[in-house]
Structure 1
Amino acid sequence: MEFTQDQINELKSALKNKQLSAYHNRIQAVYFRSQKMPYKSIIELVGLSHDTIWRLVKKYEQEGISALIQDKRGGRRAAYLTYEEEKEFLKEQLEASASGEFVTISQIHKAYQIKVGKETTREGFYALLKRHGWRKVTPRPEHPKKQTLKPFQRLKIKSTFKKTRKRFKHSRRYNKIRLMYQDEAGFGRISKMGKAWAPKGLRPQVHSHHIREFRYCYGAVDSHTGESFFMIGGGCNTDWMNEFLKQLSEAYPNDYILLVMDNAVWHKSRTLEKPSNIGFEFIPPYTPEMNPIEQVWAEIRKRGFKNKAFKTLEDVIDKLQEVIQSLHWSDLKSIVHREWIFSDFEFE
């Protein structure tokens, strides 16, 4: 390429422009060629390859200085569909995906091949899924009889909470109105296996048995503050629920607690003794995801009960107490945090 004086002056001006300092190497390489400097010398000075310098000169010849100050690199050089067309194709598969039909990639890959009208590699299709944020996950299980009343039930709980706050707003009887989520879970000597870190070539071996001895943990967590109350009991029945409510009431004597729970029979028993500073609200049947404390039980099991074989029931109780005491309020607040709770309820 033969450079004109105007082009040489343009390259000089670009080299002096501080705003183009990020592209200094490219501009300098082309400028050196305009001065008829050999490729070998330019390579040593700017650190670019012979082919790169040649392409930069060619681009400058065709498009001018703008060709040297573009950030276009890489990109998709060959594709059966545009990005928007891929997005539209995956949108068509959302309904089947949401119901867990795509157990293997074969089904959705076959639909893609029909869409483009030719065979494609799985590797390329994996890249497509990754590009659009798809991944393989285990579906969240739900009961066939699950009710779809969650939004309405949230409004009901919200209404009860607001009425309770209004009722005691000017009362000196209670310092605070709390919204706490309650549940109970069994912990016993049946071993639970879980994944563990180990070097390649080593598969850990742990003791395991299936002895059916249990103790039950009752718990209540304030999803706003992360404060909690737990009690270990001998069973799930009205007597133990009465004891839990009594101890919970005594733990917060100056607060009124709206306790949200599931529909277990001992939660609605006629002989249930409800303290004066505790009120009840129930989530719809078969909707455990509406009770954030469910994830607390999962965290307790992960911290203290995976890959363990307990010799006695006392060992189970000791481990349960140890893990509960290790749960900081900030940990619990993080576990039970739900956007819909903070958006639906106004906390003081």
Structure 2
Amino acid sequence: MGSAIGLRDDFDGAALRRLARLSKSANQARRLLALAQIYDGSSRSEAAKIGGVTLQIVRDWVIRFNARGPDGLLDGKAPGKRPILTDAQRQSLVEIVEQGPIPAIHGVVRWRLTDLVQWLHDEFAVSLDVTTVGRELRKLGYVKLTARPRHYAQNEQALEAFKKGFADALAKVKASLPKGTPVEIWFQDEARVGQKNKITRRWARRGTRPSAPKDQRTKSAYIFGAICPEEGKGAGLVLPFCNTETMTLHLAEISLMVARGAHAVVLMDQAGWHMTAKLTVPKNISIIALPAKCPELNPVENIWQFMRDNWLSNRVFTSHDNIVDHCCEAWNKLIDQPWRIMTIGRRQWARGL
């Protein structure tokens, strides 16, 4: 140990004792009291006894105190293990994950952890295992998710333009109505439910693959569904076909659910039975067509996903009537949960207009 180092002269024993009483750190208070003894003229051996440490540690406390004052006596955070990847390497990993693989170059259509292990080795000569790479991805905010289908010919500019121009389209409808008429915004779509049913994910032990019944028969029915997210209400029919006649029936059902004296603006895709001039549209309904190939704009698509995942999948339907019964039960269950319609169906671009 070297020669004794003097304490800085802008503190004294009384000041350190006051700071020790106010400190929320027991270790900092102990160190302050030990150094207060030195200020009061006690030997460093006495200070070491008070602190319960060796003379060398007391010397270290003096150095830290002289350099940073009382804050120098707080416990510091250990630097920990050196990061496996540098910030630059992590940023490169983020970029390659966001871009996705190029099949002709990388030989795969989606990144697996083992592919990213190989990429990191080829790019940076870093050797990691799949568990470590998975941990790094989770730290960066990535999890493994099922991709949302997107039409290959979708025009993203048309999608954004529709959102921005929806207020103007709604204003044109309002201008054609008597002044003060309340307007409800509805979304409409159809879903086919049949014996060739969907199998959903389920909890199972790691390393196993659970099974579920899968029918190969082809009987089916259609749920015609419409929701008004702001009001938490809906209108649905289960019908055997999608055509002009069944669509007319559904519009009549929606018309019955519109509040008395209000007018409904119904947003729907451009299916032939939606846009035909032969369609009978009730007087309290106006139709606005969504851009082609943009199902993301229609929250009823999310309603179908919720109903399939929770009420309709993993079943074997014995007959057409059995399909109709389950579809009616599922839709009625949805209608009994208006908060569900609100949370799934609301879209910011269609609200507050």
Say yes or no: TM over 0.5. yes
Aligned pairs, number:
325
**Are positions 1:128 and 2:105 aligned together?**
no
Percent same amino acid among aligned pairs?
Answer: 20
State the TM-score, normalized to the length of structure 1: 0.79
* Partner of residue 340, structure 1: 349
How many Å apart are 1:326 and its aligned residue? 1.9
How far does the alpha carbon of each residue in 1:1-20 deviate from its partner, in whole angstroms, 9 at most, with x for none?
87978799365333212xx2
Decide whether aligned partners of structure 1 residues 269 and 197 sit closer, same or farther in structure 2, where only a CA change above 3 A counts: same
Pairing of 1:218-237 with structure 2 (within 5 A): 218-237=224-243
**Are positions 1:163 and 2:163 aligned together?**
no
Q: Which of the numbers 147, 159, 166 marks the counterpart of 1:139?
A: 147
The structure with the largest alpha-carbon Rg is 2
Q: Which of the numbers 323, 326, 332 marks the counterpart of 1:319?
A: 326
Pairing of 1:109-124 with structure 2 (within 5 A): 109-124=117-132
Q: Distance in 1 between matches of 2:56 and 2:308?
A: 61
Pairing of 1:33-182 with structure 2 (within 5 A): 35-37=47-49, 59-64=60-65, 65-69=70-74, 72-73=77-78, 75=80, 77-81=82-86, 83=87, 85-86=88-89, 88-90=91-93, 92-93=95-96, 96-97=99-100, 102-148=110-156, 149-168=158-177, 170-171=179-180, 174=181, 176-182=182-188
* Partner of residue 296, structure 1: 303
1:139 partner amino acid: A
SS of equivalent to 2:227: strand
1:93 partner amino acid: I
Decide whether aligned partners of structure 1 residues 80 and 312 sit closer, same or farther in structure 2, where only a CA change above 3 A counts: closer
Matched-pair contact (CA < 8 Å) for 1:219–1:228 = yes
Decide whether aligned partners of structure 1 residues 189 and 125 sit closer, same or farther in structure 2, where only a CA change above 3 A counts: closer
Decide whether aligned partners of structure 1 residues 36 and 326 sit closer, same or farther in structure 2, where only a CA change above 3 A counts: same
Decide whether aligned partners of structure 1 residues 218 and 34 sit closer, same or farther in structure 2, where only a CA change above 3 A counts: farther
CA-based RMSD: 3.4
SS of equivalent to 2:219: strand
Decide whether aligned partners of structure 1 residues 36 and 125 sit closer, same or farther in structure 2, where only a CA change above 3 A counts: same
Matched-pair contact (CA < 8 Å) for 2:312–2:330 = no
How far does the alpha carbon of each residue in 1:297-336 deviate from its partner, in whole angstroms, 9 at most, with x for none?
1111122222211222222222222222222111111112
Unaligned runs of 5+ in 2: 35-44, 103-107
Q: Distance in 1 between matches of 2:231 and 2:101?
A: 33
**Are positions 1:16 and 2:21 aligned together?**
yes
Unaligned runs of 5+ in 1: 43-49
Q: Distance in 2 between matches of 1:78 and 1:34?
A: 42
State the TM-score, normalized to the length of structure 2: 0.78
Matched-pair contact (CA < 8 Å) for 2:27–2:74 = no
1:150 partner amino acid: L
Matched-pair contact (CA < 8 Å) for 1:59–1:67 = no
How many Å apart are 1:262 and its aligned residue? 0.8
Matched-pair contact (CA < 8 Å) for 1:180–1:260 = yes
Q: Distance in 1 between matches of 2:46 and 2:73?
A: 15
Matched-pair contact (CA < 8 Å) for 1:303–1:323 = no
Q: Distance in 1 between matches of 2:229 and 2:304?
A: 14
SS of equivalent to 1:296: helix
Q: Distance in 1 between matches of 2:208 and 2:123?
A: 44
SS of equivalent to 2:49: coil
Q: Which of the numbers 27, 30, 33 marks the counterpart of 1:28?
A: 30
* Partner of residue 46, structure 1: none
Which structure 1 residue ranges, 4+ long, deviate > 6 Å from structure 2?
A: 1-8, 53-56, 199-203
